[in-house]
Amino acid sequence: MAELVVDLTVREIGRAAEEVLGKPVSVTADTDIARDLSVDSLALMNIVMELEDKFDLSIPLDRMADVQTVGQLAALIDDLRVKV
């Protein structure tokens, strides 16, 4: 069940990235956010804000420091959703 939740979250991260970047993107759990999506820090913050609105939660910036892949971001979001 947790794997399905992560897959759905990965899909939502892809949608948020498309919204912010204004172009279609293909993401998997292994997608490196900065390298594979060419996302700079400003675009990443905009993606995070989209995700915060979508999931109705706040993603602490200090927790984002360790996030490199879409899968890590999905796991962080799912972890935060459990605590809400």
Q: What is the mean pLDDT of residues 55-61?
A: 94
Buried b (16+ CB within 10 A) or exposed e, 19-38: ebeeeebebebebebeeebe
Structural domains of the chain, ranges and CATH numbers in brackets? 2-83 (1.10.1200.10)
- 28-49 per-position pLDDT tens digit: 999 999 999 999 999 999 999 9
Average pLDDT, the chain: 91
Alpha-carbon distance of 29 to 9, in angstroms, equals 10
Which tokens belong to 32?
Answer: 């490196």
The four Cα atoms 63, 66, 71, 76 give a dihedral, to 10 degrees, of -20
User: What residues contact residue 6 under an 8 Å CB cut-off, 6+ apart?
Assistant: 29, 71, 74, 75, 78
Q: pTM for the complete prediction?
A: 0.90
Answer yes or no: is pLDDT of 84 > 60.
no
pLDDT of residue 82: 79
Q: Which of 35, 37, 40, 41 is nearest to 18 (CA)?
A: 37
